[in-house]
Each structure stands twice: as C-alpha cells, then as structure tokens.
Structure 1
Amino acid sequence: MTRLRSRLRRGLASATAAAALLTAAACAGAPADPDAVRIGLLVSLSGTYATVGQDMQAGFRLYLDSHGGRLGGRKVDLVVGDEGDGPATAVPAAQKLLERDRVVALTGLVGGATVDKVQVLTTARKVPLLGANARPAFTSEGGKPRDLTYTWHTSYNSDEPGIAIADHVKSQVGDGAVYAIGPDYQGGWDELRGFTDTFTRLGGKLANPDGKALFTPFPATENFLPYLNKAAETKPEAVYTFYAGAAAVAFVKQYAQSDLKDVPLYAAGFLTEGSVLTAQGPAATGIRNVLNYSPTLSNAANQAFIAAWSAAGNSSPPTTFAMASYDAAAVLDRALAGVAGDVTGPKLNEAIGKVGRVTSPRGDWQFEPTEHRPVQRWYLREVRADGPVLSNVLVQDLTTLPAT
C-alpha cells in the first residue's frame, strides 16, 4: 500500500510538472497580462560595463514606476536581457527577446559592437530599436549604408563628445600640443576620432610622435603607468582621453601618480561618470570633461528627475546613462499614446517618428530626421565637490550637435 501511494504521488507530481511545462510553452512569447505591451530592455548586467547597464535599467524603471507601470496609458511587461560584454552574449539574448518574447520594441544596448549586430535583427523583424547608449555605425561591414528606418537612439554618436569639446581645448592650449590616448576598440576609435579630427582641423597639434592617437589594448590593459609616463616625455600642454567602467577608475588613479599628474586632463564624460567617480575619489578632482548631461543642470525637468532618483534610494547623482534610458521610456510613452488599437512594430515605429520635441533632464531635444539621433546641447563639466560628494559640475554650454 505504501508503494502504491508513493507511485501515485510521483505520478501526480509528474502530471503537475507536465501541466506547468505545457502552460509555460503556451504562454511563451505572450505577456503575463494579455493586455500588456511587451518591451525588451537589453543591457550589460555582467562584464566590463555592468555598472553602465545597471544605471540604464534603473533609469528606465524609474520612469516606468513613476507612471504606474504604464507607457502611453498601456500596461507594460518589461523583459530584461543581459548584453554582457558584446555580441557573443548579446545576440542570443536579443534573439530571445525578439523571437520568443516577441517584444514590440527593444531598448538599452551599451556597446557599439553589440548594437551593430542587434540592429540587423530588429530591422529584419520591423521592430523599433530605441538605443539608450550605443549607436550603430552608419555603414554595414560591407560598406553599404545601413537601413536606419527602425533604428533610433536617445544618446549621441560616439564621435560627438570629442567634436563638442575640441574648440574649447584648442582655446586653452593655444599653440601647445595635446596627447590623445584611449582604448583599442570601436568605441575608443570613434571617441578619439571625433576629438583628433576636429582639433587638428582647427589648427591644433597632437603631441603623439606619429600624429595619431595612442590606443591601449582593450580590455586587457590594467596598468596604464608605462603609457602615461611615455606620453609625458612628449611634454604635452594637455591630454585628451576616453575610458569608461573599470578602465576609467584605473586610468584616473594612475594618471594622478604618473609623470603627467600636473598636466590638465580633458575627457569624454564617461571617464568620470557615475559609480566610477566614487571609486576614483579625489584623484578625479579637476578633470574637465564633456557630455550631454550634468546632474547640476537647473531646468525643471532635471530637478524633478533628481528628486525622483533620490526618492528611489539612489545615493549617487544620476548619470547620462540613466538619463538617456529614462528618456527612452519617455519617448515610448509618447509614441505608444499615439498608437491606435493593437501595437505592432511598424505602427510604433511610425509613432516614434512623430514624437517631436522631448522635455528632458538634459534640456529639450528632438530626433534628427535622417539619422534618428538627438539634436541636443553639449556641456563642459568639471569634477568638483558638490556638497558632500564629488560631482560633474556644469561649467558652461559648449555647442549643439548635430548642427541644424
């Protein structure tokens, strides 16, 4: 009798498990709430840029939570995927979001190499890709122009920070030369190209012996001192750089210990953005950098954003990564409100194109109609004490890019 009861229990358990699997299979690709709109958020939750991904997720969720879990009046089922360190992990995650979860839009994306691959998938499925950090290259690997019909982003092109600050750096160094250094991968090439091309076109000189930026192995380089001390031998008037994440922490700390420690350091703002600034501590003080956002901007939208960010339990100021993801949610909010009936990728994409001017913590902006990137202000910032913490304090406006 005991054996019979045991077999019955095992049979009941197996039947229950099978029923659960059937239910899960039936529901795969459908929102938990049949009336909800499913949005995919693909960000780095592991790897080199995990802190960036965490900020992006926090920014999107902050907007969503402050709107009762709805965008455009519709309930949202947010499905999060891990981009990891690049295409090897990001592409399978994107395929799952698009094919199994059947999201109507995909947002997030930290890395340039990732977005190049994922953009091909979203375009093929006619699902809008609303990047909140990385931007695809304008040409494919074959050199043909990319189809950007379904591709948008709320951040910036990778060369824009360097373009925006080049004139200011030239005015500070006069006839002196600037040493350019950054990481050896697509993001580093783009960031440094924006500065070096613009700076030299304005009559600036590079201190690098071959007249080209020096690129350090990525992500392998942890000891920057040999590169920095070698750069000091060129006696530059200033240094310009781009690093982010853990590399930014190491670079800034070692810069303060190197033979360049008394040479002014200029950078794309990612060098001192977010949690890396906390980790850098006093070594970052005085670094001047450029970005499309500062937490010390005084507009009403930023004040509300800062208040909500603090109320959510965040002890550090919000970053451009969080802000751009917050704005991606705002764009989807406006766009979804303009979609009648069932939401499809093509209908949502058309609505994104009609969003118009966006009121944002960075200042008002709107999409450029061809490349689908923000037309926005760029700001010079300096790392200073802001109350009890170090912050990227606004110094001045620099320019609007892209120029209209």
Structure 2
Amino acid sequence: MSDPRPHLRRRLAALTAAGLLLTGVACTSTATDSGSVRVGLLVSLSGTYATVGVDMQRGFRLYLDTHDGKLGGRKVDLVVADEGDGPATAVPAAQKLLERDQVVALTGLVGGATVDKVQTLTTQRKVPLLGANARPAFAPVGGKPRDLAYTWHTSYNSDEPGIAIAEYVRAQVGDGQVYAIGPDYQGGYDELRGFTDTFTRLGGKLANPDGRTLFTPFPATENFLPYLNKAAETKPKAVYTFYAGAAAVAFVKQYAQSDLADVPLYAAGFLTEGSVLTAQGSAATGIRNVLNYSPTLANQANQDFVAAWSAAGHSGQPTTFAMASYDAAAVLDRALTAVNGEVSGEKLNAAIGQVGRVVSPRGDWQFDPTEHRPVQRWYLREVRNDGPVLSNVLVQDLTTLPAS
C-alpha cells in the first residue's frame, strides 16, 4: 500500500498534537462545559498486558484525532485510567471514573475478569460499558441471566476465537491429537474452553492426560520449556494455545527451542498480535491463528484505517486491539449524534442500541440484539513476510459468530 498523501500526514500530525493537548487538560479538570462529554478509557497501562492497553488507547485516540477531537459533535474529555493486571487495580480505577469523574460512558478493558467485575458497577450506575477487548461468557448469577442491558462490546466473547478455528484444526490433524495449553486465569479458561469443547464435539481428541487443558500459573510463568517438553512426550499432531502480551513473547520463543519445535502451532491470534510479533521475530513464522481482524484485509475502511495509523506515526501495523477501540469510538460517535440535549447514561445507552450496521476495518458488523456483542467474520491468518514486514497475513475466512 502506498504512503498516505502528504497533506493527510500534516493534518493527522496537527490533530494528534491537538488531541494530546486536549487529553492533558481533561486529566486535570473536574468540570465539563455544556458542549462536551466525559468518556472514561480504562486499559492496562502497566503489567503483563500493557502493550495491549497502549494499542487500545492509540486506537481510540486515532478516531478522535481524525474527527476533530469530537464524538457526536461534542468535544470529548477523555479520562484514562490504569486497569493493571486485573480487578484488584481495575475496580478502584473504574469507581473513580464513575463516581468522581462522572463519565457518561466507560470503554476499554483488556481482561475478562475485569469486565466481569466492572460491568456490575456500570450497570448499577446506568452508565454504558462499551468494552473493546476480552469479554467473558457471562455465567448466570443465582440461576438468573446476568443483566447485560448496559454492557456492550466491540470485540468478541473470549471463547469465540477457539470456536471459530476448531473445525479447521480438526480437519488438519485428522486422527491425530491436539495438546491444549494456556494461562491459569479467566481469559485462559474461556479461550481454551471455546476450542476444546468445539474440537472434541467434532470428534477431535486432546493429547493432554485425562483430556484436560494444561494451565500455567499466571502471571508468574516466564519459563515455559518444562511445560512444553512435557507436552512433547504425548506426541501431539498439533498444539493449540492462547497467550498475549509479554507471556506470548516468551511462549513463542521457547516453543521454537523446545521438543515441540516441529509440531504445528495453532492459536488465538493474540499470540502474535502487534508489538509481540516484532519481539518474537522469526520464531513466530508459520504459526496459524484466528482473529476477527487482519491488517491485510482489502476493504476500503481497513485501507483508510491502516493509512491513518501510519500517518499518525505509529510503528508496525494496527492490531485488533486498536481496531476494536477505534470502533468503540465510532459507535459512541454515532450514538451521541442521536442524543438530543444533555447526555445521560440512560439516553446514551438507548442510542447505542439503535446504532445498527457499523462499517469497520474488520468488515461490516452489528450488535447481537440480546448479547450486545458483534456479529462478525473470523479469519484464519498465518505469520509470514508481507513484503519486508513479518505480518499476520490473511489466509481465508472461517465463520461468522455468533451463528444465527
């Protein structure tokens, strides 16, 4: 793809500077004027998933910077807070955003366990939560379905990547067995369960002893070699995994050094997404993974998004984390446009429900009316060179989830 036109670069640079200035004011001010709205962005700025949080923040800011710092015609005071590694850090940060900063919407959230806790707070205060990354498959509380009236996501349920790729992996391994391994926390449980439940329902068999996924301590595990070499003893036909952030870098590099080095590795796409792929280097080559986005998608919205990302001065290619956060801003833009007069959480939430089809870099999508998550395509990708750059190159469409 050719570089963006020079005038686009100049405009984006100017808008980025203006956006940063605006954010600096927002973080120190406690008042908003009648022509502005305050939005909370809660993402990991520290801990294992800091790189994910940085990309999410960049995606949301990119939308603001290319829309004059406004959503729905209103100036945005963006208040950013640190999610850290989970609820212990995220819950008090969310309470501050909701109670002291009085945001009209809360977006971001990297971890599934964070979403589970924070959505209770936003529901109580009738403030829409527009998550832009992991979302647990919410379990009923006391036998009753969870109240998701104020909970929306521009990303996915955490079990969906595994569900989307399971049939493909089943066809690739034939009668062979697959070893499943992932991190020991809520996101790991959801990601691996989506794959193993679907894979075994299709007649596949796990190489793990007793057919149970191996979960490694999180976030403490840095040396994966003992686990990988033990897994090699089961002689699997393939391995399926989910890791992200710093853990993904260590896992991929050590996989290439382990007794499993010649065994095909399939994964949820977060394993090789974004800056971690640069850190992994050639060790990641050949990994086949599944995600709802690839920077090589040929639609016009994605071409514009990739060009704007580059023009803003970001290194590397945009990620699903940036894209989903960009889309969260787009949803808020359209919803706020439909709100007349003073903005309240209740008005904004009702407007989100009427957004309809979203034209997105991932391809067009819309919210499922019951679960408030995208009905979207999932893609098989392979890590290989795209010109001089190592990239997650699109291989084929896999499926649409949630299925109708």
Aligned counterpart, 2:162? 162
Give how far 1:136 is off. 4.3
What is the distance in 2 between the residues matched to 1:76 and 1:137?
Answer: 31
What is the distance in 1 between the residues matched to 2:376 and 2:44?
Answer: 26
Are 2:331 and 1:331 equivalent residues in the alignment? Answer: yes
What is the distance in 1 between the residues matched to 2:134 and 2:292?
Answer: 14
The 8 Å contact of residues 119 and 136 in structure 1, kept in 2 or not, is answered as no
Residue 31 of structure 2 aligns to which amino acid in structure 1?
A
Encode CA deviations 1:27-79: one digit per residue, 9 max, x unaligned. Answer: 97422x44211111000111111100000000000001100001111111111
Encode CA deviations 1:1-46: one digit per residue, 9 max, x unaligned. Answer: xxxxxxxxxxxxxxxxxxxxxxx9xx97422x44211111000111
What is the correspondence of 1:71-86 to structure 2 with a 5 Å cutoff?
71-86=71-86
Give how far 1:289 is off. 0.1
Give how far 1:143 is off. 5.2
What is the distance in 2 between the residues matched to 1:192 and 1:201?
Answer: 14
Structure 2 CA distance for partners of 1:141 and 1:222, relative to 1, 3 Å: farther
Aligned counterpart, 2:272? 272
Aligned counterpart, 1:8? none
Give how far 1:349 is off. 0.4
Residue 320 of structure 2 aligns to which amino acid in structure 1?
T
Aligned counterpart, 2:236? 236
Encode CA deviations 1:255-296: one digit per residue, 9 max, x unaligned. Answer: 000010000000000000001000000000000000000000
Aligned counterpart, 1:392? 392
SS in 1 for 2:210: coil
Moved beyond 4 Å, runs of 4+:
140-143
What is the correspondence of 1:279-318 to structure 2 with a 5 Å cutoff?
279-318=279-318
What is the distance in 2 between the residues matched to 1:230 and 1:386?
Answer: 34
The 8 Å contact of residues 29 and 99 in structure 1, kept in 2 or not, is answered as no
Aligned counterpart, 2:207? 207
Unaligned runs of 5+ in 1: 1-23
The 8 Å contact of residues 290 and 381 in structure 2, kept in 1 or not, is answered as yes
What is the distance in 2 between the residues matched to 1:170 and 1:136?
Answer: 24
The 8 Å contact of residues 239 and 265 in structure 2, kept in 1 or not, is answered as yes
Encode CA deviations 1:332-385: one digit per residue, 9 max, x unaligned. Answer: 001000001110000000000000000000000000000000000000000001
What is the distance in 2 between the residues matched to 1:386 and 1:202?
Answer: 33
Matched residues, percent identical? 86
The 8 Å contact of residues 29 and 102 in structure 1, kept in 2 or not, is answered as no
What is the distance in 1 between the residues matched to 2:385 and 2:322?
Answer: 21
The 8 Å contact of residues 30 and 102 in structure 1, kept in 2 or not, is answered as no
Structure 2 CA distance for partners of 1:396 and 1:213, relative to 1, 3 Å: same
SS in 1 for 2:198: helix
Aligned counterpart, 1:177? 177
SS in 2 for 1:130: strand
SS in 1 for 2:286: coil
Aligned counterpart, 1:370? 370
Aligned counterpart, 1:21? none
Give how far 1:315 is off. 1.7
What is the distance in 1 between the residues matched to 2:321 and 2:104?
Answer: 22
What is the distance in 1 between the residues matched to 2:230 and 2:376?
Answer: 37
What is the distance in 1 between the residues matched to 2:157 and 2:67?
Answer: 29
Aligned counterpart, 1:30? 31
The 8 Å contact of residues 116 and 138 in structure 2, kept in 1 or not, is answered as no
Encode CA deviations 1:190-240: one digit per residue, 9 max, x unaligned. Answer: 000000000000000111121111111111111111111111111111000
Structure 2 CA distance for partners of 1:140 and 1:91, relative to 1, 3 Å: farther
Give how far 1:142 is off. 4.6
Residue 361 of structure 1 aligns to which amino acid in structure 2?
P
Give how far 1:139 is off. 2.6
What is the distance in 2 between the residues matched to 1:213 and 1:87?
Answer: 24
Give how far 1:144 is off. 3.5
Give how far 1:87 is off. 1.1
The 8 Å contact of residues 287 and 382 in structure 1, kept in 2 or not, is answered as yes
The 8 Å contact of residues 386 and 393 in structure 1, kept in 2 or not, is answered as yes
Give how far 1:85 is off. 1.1
Residue 148 of structure 2 aligns to which amino acid in structure 1?
L
The 8 Å contact of residues 137 and 190 in structure 2, kept in 1 or not, is answered as no
Give how far 1:88 is off. 1.3
The 8 Å contact of residues 72 and 335 in structure 1, kept in 2 or not, is answered as yes
What is the distance in 2 between the residues matched to 1:42 and 1:87?
Answer: 12
What is the distance in 1 between the residues matched to 2:378 and 2:52?
Answer: 20
Calculate the TM-score normalised by the size of structure 1: 0.92
Calculate the TM-score normalised by the size of structure 2: 0.92
Aligned counterpart, 2:346? 346
Unaligned runs of 5+ in 2: 1-24
Are 2:105 and 1:105 equivalent residues in the alignment? Answer: yes
Give how far 1:403 is off. 0.5
* Number of positions where the alignment pairs a residue of Structure 1 with one of Structure 2: 378
Which is greater in Rg?
1
The 8 Å contact of residues 136 and 159 in structure 2, kept in 1 or not, is answered as no
The 8 Å contact of residues 137 and 159 in structure 2, kept in 1 or not, is answered as no
Residue 30 of structure 1 aligns to which amino acid in structure 2?
A
Aligned counterpart, 2:357? 357
SS in 2 for 1:85: coil
What is the distance in 2 between the residues matched to 1:374 and 1:401?
Answer: 8
